[in-house]
Homo-oligomer: A and B are copies of this chain.
Amino acid sequence: MEQRHADRIAEQLEELVFDGTFSDGDRLDEVRLSELFGVSRTPLREAIQRLAQSGLVELIPRRGAFVRQPGPVELIEMFEVMAELEAACGRLAAMRIADTALEALREANTRCQRAVEAGDTDSYYAENERFHKIIYRSSGNAFLEQEATKLHKRLKPFRRVQLRFRGRMGQSMAEHEAIVAALADADADAAATALRTHVAVQGEKFHNLMASLRSAAE
């Protein structure tokens, strides 16, 4: 099944930005990349337009496309939004989640637990992701699911770092239990709170300080 070159290139470029092949501030040279992908500049530029729209690269007129990796502050902000989006998913899912989904959640959780006991971090990440994806889906809001998935993907490269910050995986598992319990009880506020704190990073006080300085400076 033939795919448009521009589509394929957009995906591959995105991958190259995510996996750190390009560092922050690197310019995406059109001729170099077109040779790399074996196409002309035209489909490559169309792909770049899309990356620009999703914020992965910055387009400076007559200068080129520069990759825009989030700095520490922006990263904290993005995690904060992720926490709120997951909280929203939890709030809605508490009212709408199906029994089958609840069961799937429990299963993912036990597999998560097993991965922790086996020390299998790769498997843990996979099951953890499945756990959260089920909650996105169970919000019963396809648009929210899409937005949450998009940001989740964007933050993927930084999630391991976040986990190291937060300490051990054990605490994360306990929070999963609390989340499932809240959803089973149809307790919207509890589910939202549990998910928010689950995703939130430690550096919140630091961020509060930064933010207050920023608004005071205006």
Contact = CB atoms under 8 A, between A and B. Distances in A.
A171 interface: no
Contacts of A78: 143
A49 B138 CA distance: 31
A98 B211 CA distance: 10
17 contacts: A7-B61, A50-B52, A50-B53, A53-B54, A74-B142, A80-B92, A80-B143, A87-B88, A95-B208, A96-B208, A96-B211, A96-B212, A98-B216, A100-B218, A140-B207, A140-B214, A140-B215
Interface in A142-168: 142-144, 147
Interface of A: 3-4, 6-7, 42, 45-47, 49-50, 52-54, 61, 74, 77-78, 80-81, 84-85, 87-88, 91-92, 95-98, 100-101, 137-138, 140-144, 147, 207-208, 210-212, 214-216, 218
Given A42-B42, A46-B45, A215 B101 contact: yes
The 7 closest A-B pairs by CB, nearest first: A140-B211, A84-B88, A53-B53, A77-B143, A49-B49, A98-B215, A50-B53
A212 B96 CA distance: 6
A30 B137 CA distance: 36
A74 B49 CA distance: 26
Number of copies: 2
Nearest to A210: B140
Contacts of A81: 88, 141, 143-144, 147
A59 to B, nearest CB: 8
Contacts of A54: 53
A216 B137 CA distance: 12
